[in-house]
């Protein structure tokens, strides 16, 4: 049971680490082509959309993971694992030994819900296409923090992002095309955007204090993804699953190659066994 709970979370963490380990060196400003091509075929959003660089993650999985860990553990327990504000350093430590199990006990219902969110969050239902690539980084900055309700509010006429659509009609068509009507209670209008965090403020991505409030927000995320998945055709989901498998195979190859270069004894033994056949 425990393995099934932690598997989606562990798989995503390994994917994050693998992406960071193999990304091109050098600043993006001076190595734009290399970074774009790497992202096109190694970033999950882009891969599931056939290499579309305008693809983006709808719900960031790192944020609910981090906030849940912070709410469930005291500072000393977290610091014993690593610096949670240094994402990749912390993730590397989190999947070592039983750290994941310590910080996210399997008997806690929020852990089970996080597992379900990570499972859905790695599918096509958690990917959408932005009208411009600049929005990929802009929606992740203060005060939006990748929170979809806040981003959607700013996309309506008068909002900071409204100019990325040529007209209200084009904006409405984009919402329907990307199946974002699931974020609205009733008609597609700013006043009908769902309060997923439970904060009472559409622009606030943080739920009220406590584990139960975090659990409620994760439940809302899960419901959104489950509902949005229904809008995709069987063919679209099958294609995305095939692309996902190719991506996982590519990651396995990358990890095998890196292990061999680093002198991993188990991998070197496997290579020797194959060469001796």
From CA 26, how far away is CA 58, in angstroms rounded?
27
The Cα 130–Cα 118 span in angstroms is 22
Say what the pLDDT of residue 20 is: 93
| Strand stretches in 163-275, DSSP E | none
Q: Is the pLDDT of residue 264 over 80?
A: no
Round the average pLDDT of the chain to a whole number and report it.
90
Give strand pairing partners of 127: 57
The strand pairing partners of 23, in sequence order, are none
* Residues 198-221: tens digit of each pLDDT: 999 999 999 999 999 999 999 999
Q: How far apart are CA 272 and CA 266, in angstroms?
A: 10
Report the phi/psi class of residue 171: left, alpha or beta, with left for phi > 0 and alpha for psi in -120 to 50.
Answer: alpha
For residue 233, pLDDT beyond 50: yes
- 157-182 pLDDT, tens digit per residue, is 999 999 999 999 999 999 999 999 99
Q: Would you kindly state where each structural domain of the chain is located, as residue ranges?
A: 2-247
pLDDT of 258 over the 60 cut: no
Token pair of 205, please? 């991505």
**Is residue 130 predicted with pLDDT exceeding 70?**
yes
> What is the model's pTM?
0.89
Shortest CA distance to 16 belongs to which of 102, 72, 87? 87
Q: What is the DSSP letter of 24?
A: P
Neighbours of 53 (CB within 10 A): 17
Can you state the percent helix, strand and coil of the chain, rounding each to 5? Answer: 65, 5, 35
DSSP output for 36-75: HHHHHHHSHHHHHTTS-TTEEESS-SHHHHHHHHHHHS-H
- Which of 182, 204, 187, 229 lies closest to 195, judged by CA? 204
* Per-residue model confidence (pLDDT) at position 272: 44
Question: Using CB atoms within 10 A of its CB, is residue 22 exposed (0-12), middle (13-18) or buried (19+)?
Answer: middle
What long-range pairs does 140-144 form, CB within 8 A, spacing at least 24?
140/60, 143/203, 144/203
């Amino acid at each position: 049971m425990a393995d099934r709970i932690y598997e989606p979370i562990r798989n995503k963490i390994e994917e994050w680490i693998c992406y960071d380990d193999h990304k091109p060196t050098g600043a993006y400003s001076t190595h734009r082509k290399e970074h774009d091509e790497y992202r096109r075929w190694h970033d999950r959003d882009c891969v599931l959309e056939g290499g579309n660089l305008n693809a983006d993650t709808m719900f960031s999985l790192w944020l609910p993971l981090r906030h849940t860990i912070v709410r469930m553990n005291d500072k000393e327990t977290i610091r014993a694992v690593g610096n949670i504000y240094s994402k990749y350093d912390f993730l590397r430590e989190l999947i070592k030994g039983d750290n994941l199990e310590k910080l996210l006990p399997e008997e806690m219902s929020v852990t089970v819900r996080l597992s379900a969110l990570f499972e859905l969050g790695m599918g096509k239902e958690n990917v959408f296409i932005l009208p411009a690539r600049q929005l990929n980084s802009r929606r992740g900055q203060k005060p939006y923090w990748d929170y979809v309700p806040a981003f959607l509010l700013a996309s309506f006429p008068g909002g900071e992002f409204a100019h990325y659509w040529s007209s209200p009609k084009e904006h409405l068509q984009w919402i329907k095309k990307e199946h974002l009507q699931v974020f609205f209670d009733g008609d597609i209008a700013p006043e009908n955007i769902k309060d997923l965090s439970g904060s009472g403020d559409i622009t606030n991505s943080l739920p009220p204090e406590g584990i139960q409030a975090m659990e409620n927000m994760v439940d809302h995320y899960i419901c959104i993804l489950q509902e949005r998945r229904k809008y995709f055709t069987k063919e679209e989901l099958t294609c995305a699953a095939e692309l996902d498998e190719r991506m996982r195979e590519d990651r396995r190859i990358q990890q095998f190659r890196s292990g061999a270069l680093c002198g991993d004894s188990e991998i070197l033994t496997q290579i020797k066994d194959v060469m001796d056949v």
